[in-house]
Amino acid sequence: MYVSASYDNVSEEVFEPFFKRAYYEGNVIPKSRKGTHKWIMDNRVPLSESVNIKKASNFFIDILKQTGIRQIAAQGLAAVPLLGSIASLSPFDINAGVIRDKSKGYGRNKRIEGTIEPHMPVLLVDDLMNGGNSALNSLKALRENKFSNISFATLMWFDWGKGKMRLGIGEGRLPYYYAMRISKT
């Protein structure tokens, strides 16, 4: 394997099967530019299975319990299905919001769809963090819509990526929670 998982904030017994379903290795995975990847982490695979999306959702629900936050938001193909799962499995009522890449240009022309309110804390959820681009884009949308009390949580954190630095997590500017730390081997 090219990477290993450390189950820093979750049970290895519970989450190792998730990691194994997401990890793929081989020189047949095309890059967006020239060449091929040696490995990829595709969380869409385990998140499309009820047993694994329930595990993931319960990780986020535990954060909501600990923090008292009752709103969640997400952007992206792997993260958005989590919103419905978290909302349906939560033992308490929560509001959810889907963050679009850009306003849709018609109808209500909103970039954030759903029932989240700027005056209440919100937990931004994502499947993984590497360089932080997705999170930066989501945070920009939330802040443009007057959200100020934002926390962030992911299932996986690639510890070699620059996301934590770019988001100001180390300086305490953004409360951050993660389930698994992924390291290069």
d(CA 66, CA 42): 28
Listed in sequence order, the residues at least 6 apart from 135 whose beta carbon sits closer than 8 Å to its beta carbon are 124, 126, 129, 152, 163, 167
What confidence score (pLDDT) does residue 158 get?
97
List the domains of the chain with CATH numbers: 3-184 (3.40.50.2020)
Q: What value does the mean pLDDT of the chain take?
A: 93
Categorize the per-residue pLDDT at 65 as very low, low, confident or very high, splitting at 50, 70 and 90: very high
Helix, strand, coil percentages (3-state) for the chain, rounded to 5, are 30, 30, 35
Q: What is the pTM for the complete model shown?
A: 0.94
Categorize the per-residue pLDDT at 1 as very low, low, confident or very high, splitting at 50, 70 and 90: confident
Strands 23-30 and 112-114, bridge-based pairing: unpaired
Kindly report, residue by residue over 82-135, the tens digit of the pLDDT.
999 999 999 999 999 999 988 877 877 889 999 999 999 999 999 999 999 999
What confidence score (pLDDT) does residue 37 get?
79
What confidence score (pLDDT) does residue 108 get?
79
What confidence score (pLDDT) does residue 104 get?
77
Residue 28 has pLDDT above 70, yes or no: no
